[in-house]
Amino acid sequence: MQKHRELRTRTHAAFLTQADAMRPTLYRQRVMPISVVNMIPDALTLHGWRSEVRFTPDQLSQQTFASGDEFIVDFGQHCVGYLSLRCESAGSPPDAPAHLQFIFGEISAEVAEPFSQYDGWLSRSWLQQEDSYLDVLPVEMTLPRRYCCRYIKVRVVSTSPKYGLRFPTFHLDTVSSASDSTLQQVQIADPLLREIDEISVRTLKNCMQDVFEDGPKRDRRLWLGDLRLQALVNYPTYAHNDLVKRCLYLFAGVTREDGMVSSNLFMQPQVIADDTFLFDYALLFVATLEDYVAATGDRATLDDLWPTARRQIELSLQRLDDRHILRDSEDWWAFIDWHEQLNKQAAAQGVLIYALRKGIQLARRCDNANIAWLETTLERVSQAALTHLWDDEQGFFVSGEARQVSWAAQVWLILGEVGDVAFRRQLLARLQRHPPMIKMHTPYMMHHFIEALLTHGEREQAVVEIKRYWGGMVQAGAETFWELYDPDNPDYSPYGSKLINSYCHAWSCTPAWLIRHFEL
């Protein structure tokens, strides 16, 4: 266990009370199995397995299973919810307990590959499984935790030679705070874009729980970077704006002693700020608030939360050196993207500039006194980026002491509107013609690239990229969009195993916003 530094936090009770009052209703839907399947190794599929129907749900309810037998139930869709089943004995009265093992998989590989071989560096406790010992049969069971799955593997570890097991009922009760009745319908002409929109919406829905979770399998937590994108997608889809408001109040409700918002919050047993503080995520609080106010015109929330937003800007400026460039460091100070080699300095400078622009929008609504200061600051840090980070010879922004050229740096400084439009359009074109070695690794980073294309008029190229990237997941069978997707490296995981990746992840649901907002 790492040495824990004591974290001093400040709690804003009124904000937490406000957040608590907006706790959402969770809507339940029952989902029945569509079939019982076998998983067949298949090198042609993305994660190495395809499913093959073994029998129907009706046949499942009539089948008797002995020790060592197993079956994989396919629910036909990605679900977040609670498993209930009835288990009965067949044969003599059960003369020993029954031991059942349940394995839950968002994707086929999770139920096809043994967890015992897992060697990733994220805790193996994320692998979704449960062991049940049944002393009395028949029994109606609801497993204790919320699971995230399309597939459930049930293994009859042991009964006795005198009896077997039957499963006459088997279903999931899914939960989400998104209600289908509020989903806004739009006409999308392109069939693939329509499908991508649909999967984006499903991804968002399955992440909408008590808060906007990053991923319902993992981390099941409220992360600011994810929240900002989920909120954006929410406005033209479920429009559950109170859930965004709730999450903003939660972040403002527990901050570091100096007022910095955490990168993420735990909701249980009470609201706790994680001790991970990230430069870019804190600044995205400003952007999330601005998006919310723009979407809702909610002045009361703006008045409450503007001081928190402004504080993120103030704190971020402390990291500027006397050139007005962010000091770089080796530690875990900014996220930007999952990429081991990525230097974060230039991209973070872009995030700062982006947030300053959002801050100015907010100040114009409620804090005239601070407009001038923010505008001056924006001018300084933008100019500093052009002066100190731009490498004219290479035609790219560079980052860190090694003057690294990355996609992330270009994308964020373009989103920050550094340089004039012509300059930025040229940079976007160059980026695609001469792609830097340091690629984008996540749908999160890819979203920002597409947004940069769309805000610079590159609609056609944006559609090509959406279809290539998110369409690639669709083609690979995604029913919800994945935390991680590298078309060149299907098993990519920053955690050392594809089994632990999240396959329904908030930051991947943005095409619905891109398609709807930009009317693609």
CA 107 to the chain's CA centroid? 16
Q: Which range in 38-46, 94-102, 208-216, 280-288 contacts a second copy by CB under 8 A?
A: 94-102
| Residue from the set 123, 182, 329, 475 that interacts with a second copy by CB under 8 A | 123
> In the bound complex, what is the minimum distance in angstroms from residue 13's beta carbon to a second copy?
19
User: Are 417 and 450 contacting, i.e. CB atoms less than 8 angstroms apart?
Assistant: no
| Residue from the set 93, 318, 322, 330 that interacts with a second copy by CB under 8 A | 93
> Is residue 136 part of the contact set for a second copy (CB under 8 A)?
yes
> In the bound complex, what is the minimum distance in angstroms from residue 40's beta carbon to a second copy?
27
Binding to a second copy in span 180-219, by CB under 8 A: 218-219
> Is residue 133 part of the contact set for a second copy (CB under 8 A)?
yes
Residue 460-499 contact track with a second copy, rule CB under 8 A, x = bound: ----------------------------------------
Cα–Cα dist 353/229, whole Å:
18
| Residue from the set 117, 142, 268, 368 that interacts with a second copy by CB under 8 A | 268
> Is residue 95 part of the contact set for a second copy (CB under 8 A)?
yes
> Is residue 124 part of the contact set for a second copy (CB under 8 A)?
yes
> Is residue 122 part of the contact set for a second copy (CB under 8 A)?
yes
Tell me which DSSP letter residue 260 carries. P
Q: With b meaning 16 or more CB within 10 Å and e meaning fewer, what string describes 132-150?
A: bebeebeeebebeebbbbb
3 state DSSP class of 132: strand
| Residue from the set 45, 77, 158, 296 that interacts with a second copy by CB under 8 A | 158
Tokens describing residue 494: 């920053």
Cα–Cα dist 34/66, whole Å:
23
> Is residue 92 part of the contact set for a second copy (CB under 8 A)?
yes
| Residue from the set 1, 43, 300, 369 that interacts with a second copy by CB under 8 A | 1
> Is residue 169 part of the contact set for a second copy (CB under 8 A)?
no
Which phi-psi region, left, alpha or beta, contains residue 264 (left: φ > 0; alpha: ψ -120 to 50)?
A: beta
> In the bound complex, what is the minimum distance in angstroms from residue 97's beta carbon to a second copy?
4
145 vs 434, which CB is nearer to a second copy? 145
Q: Which residues pair with 6 in a beta bridge?
A: none
Q: Which range in 87-95, 179-187, 233-241, 432-440 contacts a second copy by CB under 8 A?
A: 87-95
Question: Tokens 């991680």 correspond to what residue?
Answer: 484
User: Are 167 and 87 contacting, i.e. CB atoms less than 8 angstroms apart?
Assistant: yes
Distances (CA, A) of 331 to 35, 64, 283: 48, 56, 18
> In the bound complex, what is the minimum distance in angstroms from residue 94's beta carbon to a second copy?
8
User: Are 482 and 460 contacting, i.e. CB atoms less than 8 angstroms apart?
Assistant: no
Q: Which residues pair with 319 in a beta bridge?
A: none
> Is residue 23 part of the contact set for a second copy (CB under 8 A)?
no
116 vs 368, which CB is nearer to a second copy? 116
> Is residue 241 part of the contact set for a second copy (CB under 8 A)?
no
Length of the chain, in residues = 520
Q: Which range in 207-215, 272-280, 365-373, 503-511 contacts a second copy by CB under 8 A?
A: 272-280
66 vs 371, which CB is nearer to a second copy? 66
Tokens describing residue 313: 């800007």
In sequence order, the 6+-apart residues with CB closer than 8 A to the CB of 116 are none
Tokens describing residue 152: 């459930």
Cα end-to-end span (Å), the chain: 48
Q: Which range in 89-97, 175-183, 233-241, 316-324 contacts a second copy by CB under 8 A?
A: 89-97
> In the bound complex, what is the minimum distance in angstroms from residue 333's beta carbon to a second copy?
17
Q: How deeply is 474 buried, as exposed, middle or buried, from its count of CB atoms within 10 A (0-12, 13-18, 19+)?
A: middle
> Is residue 164 part of the contact set for a second copy (CB under 8 A)?
yes
Q: Which range in 79-87, 91-99, 355-363, 411-419 contacts a second copy by CB under 8 A?
A: 91-99
> In the bound complex, what is the minimum distance in angstroms from residue 474's beta carbon to a second copy?
30
> Is residue 161 part of the contact set for a second copy (CB under 8 A)?
yes
| Residue from the set 160, 296, 455, 461 that interacts with a second copy by CB under 8 A | 160
149 vs 326, which CB is nearer to a second copy? 149
User: Are 297 and 308 contacting, i.e. CB atoms less than 8 angstroms apart?
Assistant: no
Amino acid identity for residue 451 in this structure: E
Distances (CA, A) of 339 to 16, 408, 440: 35, 10, 8
135 vs 401, which CB is nearer to a second copy? 135
3 state DSSP class of 267: coil
Tell me which DSSP letter residue 408 carries. H
User: Are 215 and 483 contacting, i.e. CB atoms less than 8 angstroms apart?
Assistant: yes
Cα–Cα dist 374/382, whole Å:
12
66 vs 192, which CB is nearer to a second copy? 66
> Is residue 163 part of the contact set for a second copy (CB under 8 A)?
yes
257 vs 488, which CB is nearer to a second copy? 257
Distances (CA, A) of 308 to 20, 186, 290: 18, 35, 12
Distances (CA, A) of 303 to 24, 246, 299: 23, 15, 6
> In the bound complex, what is the minimum distance in angstroms from residue 133's beta carbon to a second copy?
6
> Is residue 253 part of the contact set for a second copy (CB under 8 A)?
no
| Residue from the set 23, 30, 162, 434 that interacts with a second copy by CB under 8 A | 162
| Residue from the set 8, 44, 185, 269 that interacts with a second copy by CB under 8 A | 269
CA 86 to the chain's CA centroid? 34
Cα–Cα dist 417/452, whole Å:
9
User: Which residues would be at the binding site for a second copy (CB under 8 A)?
Assistant: 1-2, 4, 64, 66-67, 90-99, 122-126, 129-131, 133, 135-138, 145, 157-164, 218-221, 266, 268-269, 272, 274-275
